[in-house]
A and B are shown apart, each in its own frame.
Chain A
């Protein structure tokens, strides 16, 4: 079945360490996105990529980095520069055709201690 796989589901890291969250899709979608969600809040866009080897900052990109070397993969690195990294991270993809709908992964809950 086609879909988006995020791993791991839960991640614990010590403060000051960089950590990379994985996102893989087999939907042949061109565009991929990373969102952050805090308790009781909506989704905030971190980075997005509409084509391989190209990506743009979203609304809260500071302290994060991404790469898009393959169409299927869009990993997110949470760096030590991110002041409050504990959150629920969601990856999504979409087909940039006439109509659209996001397909989301199941999320990674990152806890920094």
Chain B
């Protein structure tokens, strides 16, 4: 299973674009990259998933370079409600997925 490394915490201001980078140097050929968001006392919520290049949905964008050894979650124009923990996960469909401690994002007014 590919191990991931992401910042422990980040601060940003309302209206800013936030980029959270995740390193996964040992990613395997059949691994996908998935990001989740978790609010206190709730289960994590799926944000976005990608395999290569760029993926965009109504919530975020995911940028994956050609070597796939890292990925960047981009949240456009954040608000206070985006304050949460963000997890980067790497694995194949049948893998037992390991959650790290994630990145604690704090949005300031």
Q: Which residues of A contact B102 (CB under 8 A)?
A: 42
Chain A residue with Cβ nearest B93 = A100
B55 to chain A, nearest CB (A): 11
Residues of A contacting B46 with CB < 8 Å? 101-103
A107 CB contact (under 8 Å) in B43, B49, B91: B43
Does B97 touch A at the CB level, under 8 Å?
Answer: yes
Q: Interface extent on B, as a size class? A: 20 to 34
Q: How large is the interface on A (under 10, 10 to 19, 20 to 34, 35 or more residues)?
A: 20 to 34
Give the segment of A65-73, A78-86, A88-96 that binds chain B: A88-96
Q: Is the CB of B94 within 8 A of A104?
A: no
Which residues of A from 41 to 64 have beta carbons under 8 Å from B?
41-45, 48, 50, 56, 58
Asked whether any CB of chain B lies closer than 8 Å to the CB of A97, the reply is yes
Assuming the contacts A35-B99, A41-B101, A48-B96, asked whether A100 and B34 have C-beta atoms less than 8 A apart, the reply is: yes
A50 to B97, CA, bound (A): 13
**Chain A contact residues, CB within 8 Å of chain B:** 4, 35, 40-45, 48, 50, 56, 58, 88, 90, 92, 96-107, 109
